[in-house]
Amino acid sequence: MISKRLACVVAMTAALGVLGACSSTKSSGPAETVAPTDSVEATDPPTTPAPTTIEPTTLAPTTTVAARPFLRGDGLGAFDFGASDTDMTAGMSLTVLSDDSSAYPTDFGDGLFLNVAGDYTFQYQSGRSVCWDDGAGNYLCAHFGGADATHLGLVGWEYYTLSGSPTNLGNFYSAVGATINAELSAVAGVPPIAGECYGYSNVFVDDILLDVRTTSGDSFGTYGDDGSYTLVVPQPAATVTYLQAGERPIPYSVDGEGDC
């Protein structure tokens, strides 16, 4: 009879050599490690993109060019003294009220010339005066002068209301707020009145001559026996009745001026 131990060995051999529990002793060989059939590759952790730095954009400062005042001591509107008469008249969009040209052929002395009619003097031998309606019923006149009628440049201007016309506030202003029929108190930088004639006077403000008149007809001041002039305090309210800059034809009369 085959012993139980031998039968167990034979059975294990027939079973492809797999060791069974029937052995009364443990195998002394190392345990075999079986590699997994499916392996998962390790992946890198997600990459966090570096933060994007946006440099602040500094815009260049915007320069605002202030509009030029229309009434100026060195020009009128967009035209400086010296601008040609053709350029200026073409560039003005106002209604023309008059356009007169004159010759001043007679040397009158002191840098003046007398016209043919003998009633006006001018600093030039040839002249042209153009007047426009300012849109409020007032006269805005430009004066051009030169050696002859083909070479005339802007030399001066006037702004006024015709006698008897409504005293409408002007549509054009100087840098300090002066315009025709404005209250003198609304004009900045007016120096003290230095003299007068029956409530009328004139004063230069920002290189523009202003004729002014007291609203009530009262005087700006009083004259002493020695000819000194003292301002009345407070000053009476006054209105700008005329503005002028540069040169203009000047009325001439052999009878001379009035009492003032």
Q: Where are the domains of the chain?
A: 71-251
Q: Is residue 94 within 8 Å of 135, Cβ to Cβ?
A: yes
More confident position, 147 or 53 = 147
> Which residue, among 98, 234, 243, 120, has the nearest Cα to 170 in the 3D structure?
243
Is residue 249 within 8 A of residue 144, CB to CB? The reply is: no
Q: Cα(120)–Cα(254) distance, rounded to whole angstroms?
A: 11
Sequence-ordered list of residues with C-beta below 8 angstroms from that of 176, at least 6 positions apart, any chain: 187, 188, 189, 205, 206
What 3-state DSSP class applies to 160? strand
> Within 10 Å of residue 84's Cβ, how many Cβ atoms?
15
CA angle 230, 232, 233 (to 5 degrees): 125
Query: Which pLDDT tens digit goes with each residue over 148-202?
Result: 999 999 999 999 998 777 889 999 999 999 999 999 999 999 999 988 888 999 9
> What pLDDT band is residue 253 in, cutting at 50, 70 and 90?
confident
Q: Are 136 and 159 in contact (CB under 8 A)?
A: no
- Name the amino acid, one letter, at 38: D
Q: Has residue 11 got a pLDDT over 50? A: no
Question: pLDDT per residue over 199-238, tens digit each?
Answer: 999 999 999 999 999 999 999 999 999 999 999 999 999 9
Indicate if the pLDDT at residue 139 is higher than 50.
yes
Contacts 24+ apart (CB under 8 A), 139-147: 139/97, 140/76, 140/94, 140/172, 142/76, 142/85, 142/88, 143/246, 143/247, 143/248, 143/249, 144/85, 144/88, 145/247
Report which DSSP code applies to 39: -
Whether the pLDDT of residue 257 is over 50: the answer is: yes
- pLDDT at position 54 is 52
Residue ranges of the alpha helices (H) in 106-227? none
Higher pLDDT, 14 or 184: 184
Query: Does position 98 have pLDDT exceeding 90, yes or no?
Result: yes
Is it the case that residue 80 has pLDDT exceeding 80?
yes
**Distance between CA atoms of residues 220 and 227, nearest Å:** 15
| Residue 231: burial class (beta carbons within 10 Å; 0-12, 13-18, 19+) | middle
**CA 197 vs CA 200, 213, 219, 228: distances in Å:** 5, 9, 8, 14
